[in-house]
Amino acid sequence: MPKPLNLQNQQAGFQLDLTPASHPSTGVAPAVRLRGPRSQAYRDMIAKLDAGTFATDRTAFEQLMAAIARELPELKPEQLPIGFVSRCHLGEPYEVHIVDLVGNIVQHYMRHEMMPSPFDRARELALHDAYCFIEIYTDNSMGCVRTDGTVTRI
């Protein structure tokens, strides 16, 4: 049988280059973080948002904004959600409610009652059992958050 091929044998005068090639990293784009899973604490907090206006409870509003910033620390303020849409648990005739972070208000809507833009696009999704709430962003995109925390951005 032939001897094993010793590729590092300097006496033979043949050198096999084993230096790895350098390929700089591309870095991770911000969009990836927006799709990352949402924590249980964050989901619980959004689910508990109920009737009332943050205008009357400034502390509650600031706590909410701080919690959102903690959940998405890599994002700039203008990239954070501007509101949420979810199924309303007050029962008939109410169907969905929105949490408008710009207007500092929680508003409930009945069936057939029109919702303001850009929240109106999320109505059908908010009523679907697969999602616990829908995040709304300034660029009119939406983040559909599932009960396991995974997010689909559309």
**Binding region for other proteins (CB under 8 A):** 2-5, 7, 12-14, 16-21, 23, 25-29, 31-32, 35, 111-112, 121-125, 127-128, 130, 142, 144, 150, 152-154
- Interatomic CA distance for residues 41 and 39, integer angstroms: 5
Return all residues near 132 (Cβ < 8 A) that are at least 6 apart: 43, 46, 47, 86, 145, 146, 147
Tokens 């091929």 -> residue: 5
C-beta of 104 vs 141, nearer to other proteins: 141
CB of 61 to other proteins, least distance (A): 28
Shortest Å, Cβ 18 to other proteins: 5
Q: How far is the CB of 57 from other proteins (least distance, A)?
A: 32
Beta bridge partners of 106: 52, 99
Q: How far apart are CA 86 and CA 90, in angstroms?
A: 12
Nearer to other proteins, 64 or 142 (CB): 142
Least Å distance between CB 101 and other proteins?
21
